[in-house]
Every structure is written in C-alpha cells, then in structure tokens.
C-alpha cells in the first residue's frame, strides 16, 4: 500500500505522495490521472510528489489531474509544505526551501490548529509572456485589459466588469495551454475578485499563482490599491493575500492557508 495525504488550499485540492515509497520509474502521469479521478479514484486537482532532501529542504513535482506536468502551484506548494510539516511532527513555525520546476521557492509554515497551517510563499517575480497561441482567435473584447504573465507558469489575466457574467469554461477550453484568470475590482478598494480556468484541471476554486499575477495586473491597471503592500484576492474557495515588493519589478509573496483533509492508503501500482 502507498500512503498519501490529501490537502486543500482554498478549495484547490491535492494529493501528496512521499517519493521515498516509490521506485524511480513509477508511472507518475498515469497515477496522477488514476488517483485524481473524482469518480474512480480519490479525486484532486493535482498530484504533488514530495522528496525530503533534508529537514528544511524539499523538492516538489506537480502533475495535474490530466497527467500533464506543471511548473508551479501556489496553493500546491503550501499543501506540500504542510505534508512535510506534519510528517516531521513539527509544532513550531518553520521555513522550508522547496525546489520546483519553476525554481527555488521559500515557504514559511505556521501552525494554526490540528489540521490547518498558514503559509507564506516567496513566489519570485511576475514577468511578461508572449501572447499565447490561439489567443487572437478567442474573440476577446479589445476594450478589456489583458496581460500575459508568468510566475514560473503561464497565465493570461483579463479585467472584466462581472466575473460571474463570463462563460469562463468556454473561454478556458479555447486556450487550454495557459491558466486563464478573469478579475473584477473590489468589493474593497484593496481587493479584487478572481475566477480561474487552470491548465490541466479546468475551473478550480482557487489558484495561488493566478492570484499573484492577478493582483499584480490589478495594481498595474489601477483597479486595486494595496494596503500595507498587500492586495486581497477573493476566489470561489476563499481569500488569499498577495504582498507586492517593489511592484515595478514584480516580486510577490503569496499568503494563505493549507488544510489537511485525510491520510490515505491506496493500492500500490
């Protein structure tokens, strides 16, 4: 049997597998599709592979629910850090260095209660991307502000009047190779409301990297105004905070919870 833990970050849920249990040639894309299936498996938006290098140094590999490999997840890395925190039976705040396909990230984990931690993730810089293939054919309103951005993985952020009035699923399926965020200002002056269609997972309740690029775009467009350097991002699954350091350079920190859902035993492949 293989031991997994299941976590969620604002409703964006992940399975975490410690790779020490598995052989080097484990069929990870196939296992991600099987285990993340919500009807025939456990169910999750993605599978996180945790490798413990030493007490404070970790490695994360992310497979989406469709078996594709992704560079980074802001919610996922908080869940991975919580899994390591729990496995090490820690009770005090700790700082992890986490190697990802998008580069090294620093995660500070603070316990809240028996199943919840609060984690802040240094996400690096928000940078510009070229327009994704097929974007011109999507027929987006040319009057809407649009930015193509990266925090190690690709995003397109679109400003709208009402995120509930947009057929996000149809739009997202037209550009499946990117994460698509739609945002509206408020309701608070220092906040935005965001919905997301994620590459490899579809519409999810939250996206950490998406919150980061959306907050940066909103400030860039003048749709939201930071308080103490932070923008509050309202998502279907809950709220995250994005701290903007030197906004002109795009460096951001993501702050939000991770919640342990279950310890699981699943048949080995």
pTM above 0.85, yes or no: yes
- Examine the domain organization and report whether 118 and 228 are in the same domain: no
Number of domains in the chain: 2
What's the pLDDT band for 24 if we cut at 50, 70, 90?
confident
Q: What is the pLDDT of residues 47-60, one digit of tens each?
A: 999 999 999 999 99
- Convert the pLDDT of each residue in 246-268 to its tens digit: 766 679 999 999 999 999 999 88
Give tens-digit pLDDT for 151-208. Answer: 999 999 999 999 999 999 999 999 999 999 999 999 999 999 999 999 999 999 999 9
What CATH number corresponds to the domain at position 50?
3.10.310.10
According to DSSP, the residues that pair with 5 across neighbouring strands are 16, 263
Residues 232, 133 share a domain: yes
Residues 210 and 187 in one domain: yes
Residue 90 belongs to what domain range?
Answer: 2-125+257-266
């Amino acid at each position: 049997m293989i031991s997994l833990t299941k976590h969620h970050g604002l409703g964006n849920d992940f399975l975490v597998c410690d790779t020490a249990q598995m052989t080097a040639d484990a069929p990870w894309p196939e296992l991600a599709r099987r285990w993340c299936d919500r009807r025939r498996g456990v169910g999750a938006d993605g599978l996180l592979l945790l490798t413990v290098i030493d007490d404070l140094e970790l490695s994360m590999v992310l497979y989406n629910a469709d078996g594709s490999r992704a560079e980074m997840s802001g919610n996922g890395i908080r869940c991975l850090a919580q899994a390591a925190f729990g496995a090490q039976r820690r009770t005090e705040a700790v700082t992890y260095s986490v190697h990802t396909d998008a580069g090294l990230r620093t995660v500070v984990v603070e316990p809240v209660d028996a199943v919840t931690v609060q984690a802040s993730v240094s996400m690096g810089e928000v940078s510009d991307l070229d327009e994704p293939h097929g974007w011109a054919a999507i027929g987006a309103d040319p009057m809407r502000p649009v930015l193509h951005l990266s925090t190690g993985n690709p995003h397109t952020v679109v400003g709208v009047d009402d995120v509930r009035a947009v057929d996000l699923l149809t739009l997202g399926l037209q550009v499946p190779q990117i994460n698509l965020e739609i945002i509206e200002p408020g309701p608070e002056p220092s906040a935005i409301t965001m919905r997301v269609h994620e590459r490899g997972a579809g519409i999810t309740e939250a996206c950490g990297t998406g919150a980061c690029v959306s907050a940066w775009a909103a400030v860039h467009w003048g749709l939201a105004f930071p308080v103490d350097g932070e923008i509050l991002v309202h998502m279907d699954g809950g709220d995250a905070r994005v701290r903007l350091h030197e906004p002109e350079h795009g460096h951001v920190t993501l702050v939000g919870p991770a919640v342990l859902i279950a310890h699981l035993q699943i048949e080995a492949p």
